[in-house]
């Protein structure tokens, strides 16, 4: 049986493509508030790590 990597990828994208969620995650990790307008989402396509 082959692993379905798109399942994990879609969950990650769903969580991290929402600026409101990112605002909460940033606050939880740093304790600092950030305005939604200051959040910039950058997506890398075709990149191999």
Using one digit for the tens of pLDDT, what is the confidence trace for 22-41?
999 999 999 999 999 999 99
Confidence class for position 4, pLDDT limits 50, 70, 90: low
Q: Give the position of tokens 């605002």.
A: 23
Domain that holds residue 9: 1-49
Pairwise CA distance, residues 47 & 21, whole Å? 25
Q: Give the position of tokens 């304790």.
A: 31
User: Residue 2's pLDDT is what?
Assistant: 72
Query: Is there a contact between 32 and 26 (Cβ–Cβ < 8 Å)?
Result: yes
Give helix then strand counts, H and E, for the chain.
2, 0
Domain total for the chain?
1
Pairwise CA distance, residues 12 & 7, whole Å? 9
Confidence class for position 6, pLDDT limits 50, 70, 90: low
């Amino acid at each position: 049986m082959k692993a379905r990597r798109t399942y994990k990828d879609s969950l990650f994208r769903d969580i991290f493509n929402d600026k409101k969620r990112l605002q909460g995650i940033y606050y939880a990790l740093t304790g600092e508030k950030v305005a939604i307008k200051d959040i910039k989402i950058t997506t890398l396509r075709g990149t191999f790590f």
